[in-house]
Amino acid sequence: MLLIPAIDLRGGNCVRLEQGDFERDTRYSADPLEVARRFEQSGATWLHLVDLDGAREGEPRHLRTLEQIAGATALKVEFGGGLRTFASVERALAAGAARIVLGTAALESEDLLARVIERFPSSIAVGIDARNGLASIRGWVETSTRRAIDVAVDVVSAGVRRIIYTDIATDGMLSGPNVDGLQQIIAAVPVAVVASGGIATEAHLEAAAAAGAEAAIVGRALYTGALALSALQRWR
């Protein structure tokens, strides 16, 4: 299983939220490029880059940071946050994203999802962020009425090849992943599933791997030292 470090961008800074709450954020660095370079030097090959401002506003706000990181490192960057039009997807890919993560758009626009899958089939992942089993949208501010597992089945039927599953209740809490929820998603769809939320120890990584996750995204634990940066070399 691959370990993917995360950088969440808000106001140009690297931050982490607790349970997706914008009122409970912690700033870890004002230099995202320096953080990305540190991850790369520690053994990372991929970077999960989230535009939190874009997710709330519906339009990406940190494409310049994406461009800087993609241009100054060898990291393959998956980028999400505010990508709700075909044009914004194209801009993110042009800025250097190796993979695009669609969230709200995948739930609300079947036409957009079909169009981006047809044009960029190997470069699209859908992020399913679950709160109490229901998919959340608009930067986790709103909870939809659709079950996360149903969304997973639907987007895979539409041609999506990779799902990033985040359990909001565990995200940023360092308490371990929601293994049951992860296993349910993995059992429901025949595509790669990436685990996100709550992973903070080697045991958590092993649990995600045992559940069948292709990769695990880790943020806060790498910033606080709960999980050593050397884990990026071991899980690759």
Q: Is residue 62 helix, strand or coil? A: coil
Active-site position among 21, 31, 53, 129: 129
Residue-range definition of the domain harbouring residue 202? 2-234
Cα gap 139→205, rounded to integer Å: 25
Out of 8, 53, 167, 171, which one is annotated catalytic?
8
Q: Is 150 a catalytic residue?
A: no
What is the predicted pLDDT for the residue at 169? 66
What gap in Å lies between CA 67 and CA 71, rounded to an integer?
6
Count structural domains, the chain.
1
Q: Is 129 a catalytic residue?
A: yes
- The CB-side HSE value for 75 (13 A sphere, CA atoms) comes to 33
Contact 236, 3 (CB under 8 A): yes
CA dihedral 53, 166, 27, 235 (to 10 degrees): -130
Distance CA 50, CA 8 (A): 5
- The CATH code of the domain that includes 130 is 3.20.20.70
pLDDT (tens digit per residue) in 14-64: 998 765 566 667 889 999 999 999 999 999 999 999 999 998 888 999 999
How far is residue 189's CA from residue 108's CA, in Å, rounded to a whole number? 20
pTM of the full structure: 0.92
